[in-house]
Amino acid sequence: MSIPNFDDVAVTPTMAEWDDAALMQACVAGDEQAWAVLLERYGRLIYTIPLRFGLPRSVADEIFQDVCLLLLEGRDNLRDYRRVRAWLVTVTRRLCIRRLRQQDRELVAELPEEMEDSAESAVESDLTAIEEEYLVHQALERLSTLCQELIRALFFESPPRSYDAIAKALDIPVGSVGPTRIRCLEKLRREMSRLDQEGGGP
């Protein structure tokens, strides 16, 4: 069984704003647009995990395909559609660990227990960082254009732009950059909280 090609599926803007539960309900009903949105929403997250495990891109591609197939085949058995993000992360992690063990069973068996525990802890910490980064970007997309541009200019550019440069680029008074920054960050935190509730925690 292969994953359907959703590249040419037209996605309506309103569907892109749906939460995970609504998308999964549409997916179960056979809506190709919903599948396209879901894969676009979580594709980067799924693909990043095997890379953080140190697996090559070719293996990451295979794991991505496997995860998508498992979701496609097991969508009816997912009890809480709000937890699809947590399900995807868990399944992807398990497939990565299985692939690593298959690649070098002897090396894994010979690792001292404390080294294995340390490596697992480091991976878990990395996965937490991946999810947090993902939530930030997803929440950012829900904000106004002004807030998106302001937050990116302040926190995503290196080095960050000065208040004068930001005010000029956004065509706002320089004195309003600070207060706008505070309001936008508060909105970002609220959206991250909503996303976490909608998608469930790992």
Mean pLDDT for all residues in the chain? 79
Determine the CATH number of domain 1-110.
1.10.1740.10
Strongest mean pLDDT among 65-79, 119-133, 166-180? 166-180
Q: Which pLDDT belongs to residue 169?
A: 93
Which ranges in the chain are annotated with CATH 1.10.1740.10?
Answer: 1-110
pLDDT at 14: 76
Q: Are residues 99 and 63 in contact, defined by beta-carbon separation less than 8 angstroms?
A: yes
Band of pLDDT at residue 168, cut at 50, 70 and 90: very high
Does the pLDDT of residue 8 top 60, yes or no? no
In angstroms, the CA 83 to CA 23 distance is 12
Q: So what's the pLDDT on residue 147? A: 94
* Residue intervals in the chain for CATH 1.10.10.10: 122-202
Residue 177 pLDDT greater than 60, yes or no: yes
The CATH code of the domain at 122-202 is 1.10.10.10
Q: Give the Cβ contact number of residue 127 at 10 Å.
A: 21
User: Which residue from 142, 129, 113, 112 is spatially nearest to 48, judged by alpha carbons?
Assistant: 129
Write down the pLDDT at residue 116.
45
CB-based contact 150:177 (threshold 8 Å): yes
Structure-model confidence comparison of residues 86 and 170, the more confident one:
170
- Whole-number percent of the chain with pLDDT over 90: 25
**Distance of alpha carbon 6 from its chain centroid, rounded?**
19
50-64, 79-93, 105-119, 142-156: range with lowest mean pLDDT: 105-119
Asked if residue 147 lies in contact with residue 188, where contact means CB atoms within 8 angstroms, the answer is yes
What's the pLDDT tens digit per position in 48-91? Answer: 888 888 889 999 999 999 998 888 887 666 777 878 888 888 88
Q: pTM surpassing 0.75? A: no
With CA atoms as reference, report the closest residue to 20 among 192, 144, 143, 200. 200
Confidence band (pLDDT; 50, 70, 90) for 119?
very low
Q: Respond yes or no on whether the N-terminal peptide bond of residue 159 is cis (omega within 30° of 0).
A: yes
C-alpha dihedral sign at 20, 25, 31, 32: positive
DSSP 3-state of 81? helix
CB 15 within 8 A of CB 34: yes
Distance of CA 187 to the CA centre of its chain: 19
Which tens digits make up the pLDDT trace of 184-202?
999 999 988 887 776 543 3
CA distances from 103 to 59, 94, 106, 108 (A): 11, 14, 9, 9
